[in-house]
Amino acid sequence: MILDLPKHLAALASSHPAVAHRWKAGDDMAALGNETPALLKNVGMLSLRAVLGLQAALGEWMAERFRHLHDMTQVDQVNAAVWAASIDFRYLRLGAMQFAKATGPIEGPLRESNAGARDICAAYPDAEFGVVRYVVGSANLVKYVLPDSKAFQAWFKAVVQALPALSAPSAREAGALDIDIVSQPPQGVSPAIFGTPVPREAFDPSFDLAAADPAALIDAMLVRIEAVPNPYLRSAAELAAAGFPGRPYRFPS
């Protein structure tokens, strides 16, 4: 693992659940589920940055569901890259997020999770509300592969209720704006459109964020992420050469 295991995933990580779901032709669409107006409304209250972080957190659920059955190196790298991108999108090497087709009840869902992360990241710089629809599909995918999803559903509800107060404007508000993207997204777009950076700990309902320093938490996460080579992230040297202001992989930079 690149980042420490969150407390809310400890029970899943130690339970080693067997595979009970099916994954044949067409099951990928069934696993992504449906979008209800209420769910879109609630998730749409999160900022675009928070939605990106939510995707990374959902990817961590996928990783721990299958970690005892499969090598999670690629999934961990994707999750770390999305976490970093939620803080500063320039960290991400989006073009590298290409994932081969995969079948089977383990490889299939993992590939679908990675592809969902890629699709969200592709839509993110344009402040598209589509990121909300993609992340709802990712949540449905996690629910589909868990033999018992009660703990996941409680976590998801708690996170979606808490995050809007931590990062604004909402994805629904940002998606309604007329955004003109130029050459290197999101260059030319006010960072405020994407919301306030949210620390990873905000996605753990048991963590007392009020007693912590969010900037210090984000900084510590970025330092950990940079320490592990990742094909989906630009190096600090590459970022500096491209004119990245301040110190890459530090917060504030």
With residue 46 as reference, give the H or E element that holds it: none
Q: Give phi and psi for 31, each to the nearest 5.
A: -65, -35
Which candidate, 92, 60, 55, places its Cα nearest to that of 198? 55
With residue 16 as reference, give the H or E element that holds it: none
With residue 133 as reference, give the H or E element that holds it: helix 130-145
User: In DSSP terms, which residues pair with 233 in a beta bridge?
Assistant: 92
DSSP code for 208: -
Instruction: Give me the pLDDT at residue 126, please.
Output: 87
| 55: confidence class by pLDDT, cuts 50, 70, 90 | very high
What is the rounded distance in angstroms from the CA atom of residue 232 to the CA atom of residue 211? 33
* pLDDT tens figures, 155-176: 999 999 999 999 989 998 887 7
* pLDDT tens figures, 175-210: 775 444 444 444 445 778 999 999 999 999 999 999
User: What is the signed CA dihedral for 38, 75, 48, 118, rounded to 10 degrees?
Assistant: -100
3-state secondary structure (DSSP) of residue 248: coil
* pLDDT mean over 64-82: 97
Instruction: Give me the pLDDT at residue 177, please.
Output: 59
What is the rounded distance in angstroms from the CA atom of residue 53 to the CA atom of residue 33? 21
- 83: buried, middle or exposed (CB in 10 Å: 19+, 13-18, 0-12)? buried
Tokens read off for 105 = 């009840």
What is the rounded distance in angstroms from the CA atom of residue 51 to the CA atom of residue 124? 9
- pLDDT of 32 > 50? The answer is yes
* pLDDT mean over 45-74: 97
Tokens read off for 166 = 């931590």
* pLDDT tens figures, 135-148: 999 999 999 999 99
Instruction: Give me the pLDDT at residue 182, please.
Output: 41
Instruction: Give me the pLDDT at residue 33, please.
Output: 78
Asked if 185 and 125 touch (Cβ cutoff 8 Å), the reply is yes
Chain center to CA of 181: 22
Q: What is the residue-averaged pLDDT of the chain?
A: 91
> In this predicted model, which residue has the larger pLDDT, 1 or 99?
99
Instruction: Give me the pLDDT at residue 37, please.
Output: 87
> In this predicted model, which residue has the larger pLDDT, 218 or 130?
218
> In this predicted model, which residue has the larger pLDDT, 113 or 102?
113
- pLDDT of 151 > 90? The answer is yes
Asked if 220 and 85 touch (Cβ cutoff 8 Å), the reply is no
